[in-house]
Each structure stands twice: as structure tokens, then as C-alpha cells.
Amino acid sequence: MYFAGKGTAGGALALKGPTLPAARIRQAIDRVQQAHLASDEASFFVWARKQEPEYFKALLADLAEVSAEQLQSVMHDFGDKTDFRVLNLGGGECAGASQVLIGANFFEAAHEREYRNALVFQRKYVEAAQCNESILRLLGSGVAQLLGGARQEDLAKLAEQLNLLAPEEIAAEFAHAAQESIADEEVNNEALAVASAKVDAWTIKVAAFATEKRRTTRLEGGFAKMSTDNRNELNKKIAATIAVLQQAASEYSSVVFANSLGAEDMVLTDLIAKHQPDIQMFSLDTGRLPKETYDLIHEVGQQYEVPLKVYFPDSTLVQDTLPRTASTAFTTAWRVARLAATCARWNRCAVPWRARAPGSPACVAIRQ
């Protein structure tokens, strides 16, 4: 939250307040309004500017804290019923609290960078240097939390924490950038430019690290919450699935996985890519897939070396079919046709698991 900015009469940059879940913004606004109305000052601008630097953070401290039990209640934007999607860090459904937090930290750091650049233009170098400190504090704490650490306001202590948790390169460059970004009264434009360049370079590097960390911990995060018995049981199922994949690859000359991009198919995609990459994969694009599915297809291509071949309908056949069938038959009609064509090409049954019931349209098409 930002308070008491002014766009007239010489202007004034807003005062930076705490970072809050958007779902709680109405509570925060009501609380700030009540505090202002309880004062004797009529002007909100004047009242806000009179407060101590940490006043708003203290006033809204309980709204800024999110426990594991409260996480689900703040996973929605204000006035929205759907979950956040942290697309800047790789897309897909929301992961754990640490990933949501670091996504928000990058967003806020971008605002700090804009403020810094505006302050440099106004030759307010000390305030601009303070923005660099805020960027490092935001992203450093985000990385620490992503790796199991805690938020830390003191940059020196944060550097010590990252030295224990983060890769050496990330921790060392943070320490150097923090040392260069100390905001004192003697800071000038040249020194600030050097410090800002280091902060921005570290920001780019840590963004790549956070993105990669999100990808590699997506499945690992689930293991951490399991009991030993459940983890052992899951490991047995994984081993049994790998054995089936290996047996299929050894007994048949060409094995192909029809990937419908569902949750189970993503597990099989991961196992095939890591344990049996000679199994080919394909999927079908009806032309009516939601955006999230296309994002997932792109992410599979980025994550795994095993290619996912995507097939599209023959436009001529679609034009011939639609006038004779209801629009709801579009997906079924061409999906069966493409499955049949694919199986004929590979000489192998590649029907999705749910379509393999005897007498199903897909199986009838294959036999015919």
C-alpha cells in the first residue's frame, strides 16, 4: 500500500506502507480511514505525512501476516473468486505460500525500481539509494523464504542468511550489491549508477533462479508434507509405473503416449522424460483449448527434452463435418479421426486411457 501521494502543487511521492494480500485490502482501507477520522486533522494528506515512518506497517501488521492455515483465504484477488496465477514465474496453478510471496516481492520491487529512476531524475540520490535497499530487501527475503528461511529487514543479516541457504553466486552478488547500495548523505549520481547496475543485474539473476527453483520443487514440495508410510507407498507406485513403461518399450517396437495434459498425464510425462525418453508423446489441439492448456504445452516443451508433438484437425474435414453435426460433436468427431490416423501411422494403439472401454467410439474407430 502507498499513502498520501500528490499530483498537484509541486507533487509528492506516496509514502510506502506494508505489503498486504489483495483479499484483505478492504479491511486495511477501513482501518486507515478510522485512524484518520479519529484524529483532529481534516486533510488525509497532512495527517498521513505527520505519522512516523513505521506507523502504517504497525497499524496493519496483523493483516500483513499470513499463516499456513490462512493461506487459502488470501489466494484470491479482491472481488475475484479464482486463484492467483503467478505467470511471471512460470505459469500454472499457484504453488505454496513461499512462491506466492516471492512473486509479490518481484512485483513490488519493480515499483521500487520505477521510484528509484524517478528520484534520480529529480537528483534525489539518497532517496533513490533507499529504493535500491528496498529492492534488495524484498527480493533477498523472497529468496530466503523460498529456500525455507525467514524475512529479514537488516541487509547484513539477510546476506548472512542467504550465505547459508542460497547458491554461492546468488549470495555473494547480493552481499556485494548490498554493500554498494548503502544510502548515506554523500552518495552521488556516479556511485548510485554503479550500485543500481549491480542491483538490477542481481535482480535478473535471482529471477532466473526463482523460476528454475519453482520448476524443480513442484513435485518435491508435495513429498515434504507426506508421512513416511505414504511416501514409501507412493515410491512403490512410481517404481511400478516405471517398470510398466520399460516393459512396454522393450516388448513393442514403437510406443506412443497420447497425452491429454491432465494431472495423471503430467505425472506420466515426467516419468517418461526421466526414465523412458524413447517413448514418444503427442497431444491434440481442437482449436478450442483454454489458454491455460496452451501455457502448459509451452511449459512442457521448456521443461522436458522429450518432444510433445501437437496435431491439429484437417480444416477441410472440419468444414464438412460441422454442418452435419451439432457443435458439441466437434471435439469428439475430429479427435477420433486423428487418433485413428495417428495409430495407423505408428501401427500402435495410442488411445487415451479413459477412451479404452470396449465399445467406446475411439476403440470402434481403431478396429475399423
Domain containing residue 318: CATH number: 3.40.50.620
CA distance 8 to 157: 40
CA distance 367 to 272: 27
For 194, the enclosing helix (H) or strand (E) is: helix 189-217
DSSP line for 63-107:
HH---GGGGGGGSB-TT--SBP--GGGT-SS---HHHHHHHHHHH
Residue 174 DSSP SS3 = helix
Identify residue 242 by its one-letter amino acid code: I
CA distance 224 to 329: 44
Domain boundary among 193, 220, 247: 220
Residue 15 DSSP SS3 = strand
Residue with cell 486463484: 83
C-alpha cell at 217: 520443487
* 264 & 166 share domain: no
Range of 201's domain?
A: 2-220
Could you list the pLDDT tens digit for every one of the 368 residues in the chain?
A: 888 887 776 667 788 888 888 888 899 999 999 999 999 898 999 999 999 878 999 999 999 887 777 777 777 666 666 555 443 333 333 333 444 456 677 878 888 888 888 888 888 888 889 889 999 998 998 888 888 888 888 899 999 999 888 888 889 999 988 888 776 767 888 888 899 999 988 988 888 888 777 655 444 444 445 566 777 788 888 889 999 999 988 888 889 999 888 888 888 999 998 888 889 999 988 777 777 888 888 888 888 888 888 888 776 766 666 555 554 555 555 556 555 555 555 554 444 444 444 444 444 444 44
* 7 & 153 share domain: yes
* 239 & 339 share domain: yes
CA distance 347 to 260: 20
Domain boundary among 196, 220, 244: 220
- State the angle between helix axes of 125-146 and 189-217 in degrees (0 to 180), rounded to the nearest 10: 20
In sequence order, the β-bridge partners of residue 311 are: 284
Torsion of CA 178, 180, 182, 184, to 10 degrees: 180
* 23 & 116 share domain: yes
* 111 & 192 share domain: yes
DSSP line for 287-328:
S---HHHHHHHHHHHHH-SS-EEEE---HHHHHHHGGGS-GG
Domain boundary among 186, 220, 254: 220
Q: Please say whether the beta carbons of 99 and 89 come within 8 A.
A: yes
Q: What is the count of structural domains for the chain?
A: 2
- State the angle between helix axes of 263-275 and 291-303 in degrees (0 to 180), rounded to the nearest 10: 10
| pTM tops 0.75, yes or no | no
CA distance 270 to 317: 34
Identify residue 162 by its one-letter amino acid code: L
